[in-house]
């Protein structure tokens, strides 16, 4: 297991240091967007309800004697937790003061929720005209489904992802991970940084507003499905582990009863694959000259590949494919992944101090920058850990004022 690299070797401050993010979000999409910005140096103030906090704290497995799950240590890394009830007038006033020093506000409540608390577009513009606001919701800020609740699984179903996932004769299958939530975080962070770059490049002093729906995060990944339907009326169906647009390729079982993925995409790769399994004669047959013909006659190629695989264990198969430059990989468990020499060499998992509970394993930030890289400076904080430091250090509230706010449940 690797530890964090020495920040002093980066030759420069983190890329986003000096920018401030106010995160008013729960669960995954907005918090993940803020995490990405925090990794690259942005100062993220995570607003959480007093006593309750983000429900993300309660998900997954907990460390011994921990009040929050392991997942929280990762998703809330590099953020400062501020316990503040923004639904109350005093909390809203404090939020308004914090926004005056912010560059971004990221939220993922249902449309209209913030407005009911007094956080309207007009209120935000009054507090900070140049603020960039990122909205993430199930179906977006407008349209007939604006008010329909939506979570990751709903987005997978609505977007068409679940429809094409799974075996042909089985029920549609959700992805094994909350891909729409994570994708929403990626798109939101990209939108925020793009808006900031556009403002700086064009010397603007006004802010921007970003509207992102969870289901929209998958639409750019639908490859040619929309065109096939619009122009030919074809509804793409499930094909399981066998892609319908290329052959040979997909999931195959080795002689040691382990699954691997093989990609035979492209004429040259197909030829190398056939040579690797000792069937270069198939590559010379006219019916396998073009990919569309190989898709039509897929069973013949799959039978040849399966016969060769069943006589060999996974390690031997992968060595042969590597020698012939054939893209193939074992379908790895988390144990396989975390112990793989490539993953270890690239430091994809790091150990970060987790308060007084020892180290916690966290996925390393990506992408890697040669200069101004991302770093993990601390794991997810305890609820409200930075409240007093920020309200006293920045807003100059007194001990007496803080005590009154605590008594009223504002902080």
Question: What number of other Cβ atoms are within 10 A of residue 382's Cβ?
Answer: 16
Tokens of 36: 């990405």
CA proximity to 141, closest of 171, 169, 110: 110
- Here the contacts of 363-367 (C-beta below 8 Å, separation 24 or greater) are 363/74, 364/2, 365/36, 365/39, 365/40
Residue 20 dihedral angles phi and psi, to the nearest 5° = -120, 140
Q: C-alpha 318: how far from its chain's center?
A: 29
DSSP lists the bridge partners of residue 106 as: 23, 134
CA proximity to 106, closest of 57, 42, 197: 42
**Active-site option among 43, 103, 181, 315:** 181
Are 185 and 29 within 8 A, CB to CB? yes
Are 152 and 185 within 8 A, CB to CB? no
Question: What number of other Cβ atoms are within 10 A of residue 373's Cβ?
Answer: 20
Active site residue 382: no
Helix (H/G/I), strand (E/B), else coil: 329: strand
Give the DSSP H or E segment for 131.
Answer: none
The C-alpha atoms of residue 128 and residue 38 are separated, in whole angstroms, by 21
CA proximity to 283, closest of 253, 305, 316: 305
The C-alpha atoms of residue 173 and residue 320 are separated, in whole angstroms, by 33
Give the Å distances, CA to CA, from 402 to 219, 319, 383.
47, 64, 16
The C-alpha atoms of residue 343 and residue 89 are separated, in whole angstroms, by 49
Active-site annotation, residues: 181
């Amino acid at each position: 297991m690797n530890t964090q690299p020495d920040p002093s070797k980066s030759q420069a401050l983190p890329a986003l240091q000096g920018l401030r993010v106010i995160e008013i979000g729960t669960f995954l999409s907005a918090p993940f967007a803020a995490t990405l910005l925090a990794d690259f140096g942005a100062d993220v103030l995570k607003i959480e309800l007093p006593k309750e906090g983000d429900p993300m704290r309660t998900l997954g497995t907990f460390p011994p004697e921990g009040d929050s799950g392991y997942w929280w240590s990762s998703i809330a890394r590099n953020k400062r937790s501020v316990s503040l009830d923004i639904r109350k007038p005093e909390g809203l006033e404090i939020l308004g003061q914090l926004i005056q020093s912010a560059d971004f506000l990221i939220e993922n409540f249902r449309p209209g929720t913030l407005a009911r608390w007094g956080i309207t577009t007009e209120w935000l513009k009054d507090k900070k005209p140049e603020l960039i606001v990122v909205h993430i919701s199930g179906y977006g800020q407008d349209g007939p489904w604006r008010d329909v609740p939506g979570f990751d699984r709903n987005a997978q179903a609505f977007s068409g992802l679940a429809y094409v996932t799974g075996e042909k004769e089985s029920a549609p299958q959700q992805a094994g991970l909350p891909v729409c939530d994570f994708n929403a975080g990626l798109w939101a962070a990209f939108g925020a940084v793009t808006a900031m770059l556009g403002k700086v490049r064009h010397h603007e002093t006004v802010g921007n507003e970003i509207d992102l729906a969870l289901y929209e995060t998958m639409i750019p990944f639908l490859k040619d499905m929309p065109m096939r339907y619009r122009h030919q009326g074809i509804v793409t169906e499930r094909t399981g582990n066998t892609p319908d647009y290329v052959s040979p390729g997909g999931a195959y079982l080795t002689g040691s009863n382990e699954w691997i993925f093989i990609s035979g995409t492209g004429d040259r790769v197909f030829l190398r694959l056939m040579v690797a399994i000792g069937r270069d004669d198939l590559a010379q047959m006219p019916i396998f000259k073009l990919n569309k013909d190989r898709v039509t006659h897929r069973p013949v190629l799959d039978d040849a590949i399966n016969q060769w695989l069943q006589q060999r264990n996974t390690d031997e198969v992968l060595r042969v494919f590597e020698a012939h430059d054939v893209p193939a990989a074992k379908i790895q468990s988390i144990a396989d992944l975390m112990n793989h020499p490539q993953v270890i060499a690239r430091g994809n998992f790091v150990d970060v101090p987790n308060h007084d509970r020892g180290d916690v394993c966290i996925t390393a930030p990506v992408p890697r920058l040669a200069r101004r890289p991302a770093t993990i400076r601390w794991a997810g904080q305890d609820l409200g850990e930075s409240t007093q430091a920020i309200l006293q250090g920045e807003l100059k509230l007194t001990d007496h004022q803080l005590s009154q706010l605590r008594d009223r449940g504002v902080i």
